[in-house]
């Protein structure tokens, strides 16, 4: 159904607008907040709008780095996703947060534990019961072995639910996983 919505077309005749505001070092503290907004036509006909708004807050204090972000997405005329959620007009609300701490060491090597969570829910705007949901929770730590080399271990739990309005059924995935990786930066 996504392939029916994505194709080459010239939508330059329908301009989009957007804005972003970011405030940094609030009250002299290492705190940043901001918001962004976008509106434009997104479909091949150039008639149906999409609006997206986001907000974030980031703070760093005493070795703790906290980032919170929220999202609001509203779409009209999405015939491809209508088969899944039961309406061509839908809204997604959600956000994520991640916290890490940079004050630990193991054998002289920096250790950074972190916790991350996210949730998103898409619903039809006509009041229908179908909901697409994504929820995840992960925890892990990275160890700096050298300036450009880290080892990272992570546990992840993911739940994804996708309705199918045409069959009144749904797909649900529950995934647990662990990852051990090597990160090289240059």
Q: Is beta strand 64-75 parallel, antiparallel or unpaired with respect to 90-101?
A: antiparallel
Q: What pLDDT, on a 0 to 100 scale, did the predictor assign at position 7? A: 56
Q: What pLDDT, on a 0 to 100 scale, did the predictor assign at position 26? A: 82
Q: What pLDDT, on a 0 to 100 scale, did the predictor assign at position 41? A: 78
Q: What pLDDT, on a 0 to 100 scale, did the predictor assign at position 80? A: 80
- Output the tens digit of pLDDT for each of the chain's 186 residues: 445 555 555 555 667 789 999 999 988 889 999 999 999 877 656 577 889 999 999 999 999 999 999 999 999 888 888 888 888 899 999 999 999 999 999 999 999 999 999 999 999 998 888 889 999 999 999 999 998 999 999 999 999 999 887 777 888 999 999 999 999 988
Q: What pLDDT, on a 0 to 100 scale, did the predictor assign at position 16? A: 79
């Amino acid at each position: 159904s996504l392939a029916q919505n994505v194709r080459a077309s010239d939508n330059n005749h329908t301009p989009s607008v957007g804005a972003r505001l970011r405030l940094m070092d609030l009250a002299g503290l290492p705190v940043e907040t901001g918001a962004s907004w976008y509106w434009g036509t997104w479909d091949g006909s150039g008639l149906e709008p999409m609006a997206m708004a986001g907000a974030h807050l980031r703070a760093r204090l005493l070795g703790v780095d906290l980032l919170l972000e929220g999202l609001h997405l509203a779409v009209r005329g999405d015939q491809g996703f209508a088969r899944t959620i039961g309406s061509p007009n839908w809204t997604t609300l959600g956000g994520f947060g991640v916290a890490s701490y940079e004050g630990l060491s193991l054998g002289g090597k920096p250790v950074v534990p972190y916790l991350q969570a996210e949730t998103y829910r898409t619903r039809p705007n006509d009041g229908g019961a179908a909901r697409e949901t994504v929820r995840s929770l992960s925890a892990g730590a990275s160890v700096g072995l050298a300036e450009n080399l880290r080892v990272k271990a992570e546990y992840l739990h993911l739940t994804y639910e996708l309705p199918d309005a045409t069959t009144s059924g749904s797909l649900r995935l529950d995934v647990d996983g662990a990852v051990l990786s090597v990160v090289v930066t240059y």
